[in-house]
Amino acid sequence: MLASFDHCRCISTPEVGVLDRNLRGRYEQSGKGTPMYRQPLWKTAIDMLLVPIALFRVVIGSSVDIAVAFNYPMALNGCAAACTSRWCVLNCELRTLLHLDMASYLASGIDPVSSALGLHIRLMTGFYALCIAPFMVLLVYALWKRKEAILVPAIVIGAAMTVLMGLLIVQAVFGTPPSTNVGYFLLYNIVDVVAPFLILIRVVPRPLFSGSTPQ
């Protein structure tokens, strides 16, 4: 009996804590427990920044981008009267509600590509309205819910946004005619310039920042 008591006393030392952690790890790995992880702060910061960016993309996508893609009247004054479809009228009403009059911006020459309303910029804005805006909402949801399946689509979308904005910037700087003010052009489009880089930084595997820290 004394020997048994001594044995129990020996294992009731700090080794019990180690044993408990090992057993808890096996319990969690077996699927019966749910391990808790804390992601790096820089990932959380990007996740938070992507929330207003997604909201911005939805608002701009459903208003300005749709107007450019379908060649709706850009000026709010007389916009609805110039429309030939109910969708155009609804878009004018939405932009009026948001005070998004694009006439002065397009007339300024800051964004000559958009001012020309060529087929390529209309296709680009249509892509942003119909694909990028809803994807940004899905991305924010998936990142907060830790859905790993979003990573590959996010890399593809982030790369596509980078290429499209890169081409638009090149045309604004070196096109004919060039932008009348490249600084204002970048400022007006700052969200779409920054967004793809944030997405790629967040989802592209980075060995120096890989892995999560157990709580």
| Three-class DSSP labels, 97-143 | HHCCCCHHHHHCCCCHHHHHCCHHHHHHHHHHHHHHHHHHHHHHHHH
Q: What one-letter code names the amino acid at 94?
A: L
**Residue 18 within a domain:** no
pLDDT recorded at residue 139: 96
* Predicted local distance difference test score (pLDDT) of residue 209: 43
Residue 52 resides in a domain:
yes
Domain count, the chain: 1
Tell me whether residue 108 is in a domain.
yes
- Output the tens digit of pLDDT for each of the chain's 215 residues: 545 545 545 555 555 454 455 545 544 444 444 455 688 899 999 999 999 999 999 999 999 999 999 999 999 999 999 999 999 999 999 999 999 999 999 999 999 999 999 999 999 999 999 999 999 999 999 999 999 999 999 999 999 999 999 999 999 999 999 999 999 999 999 999 999 999 999 999 865 344 444 43
Domain containing 113: what range? 42-205
* Residue 188 belongs to some domain of the structure: yes
pLDDT for the residue 208: 38
Q: Answer yes or no: is 2 within a domain.
A: no
Residue 34, domain member (yes or no): no
Q: What is the per-residue pLDDT for 15?
A: 52
Q: Which residue has the tokens 């694009």?
A: 102
Domain-embedded: residue 91: yes
- Residue 26 forms part of a structural domain: no
| pLDDT value of position 39 | 85
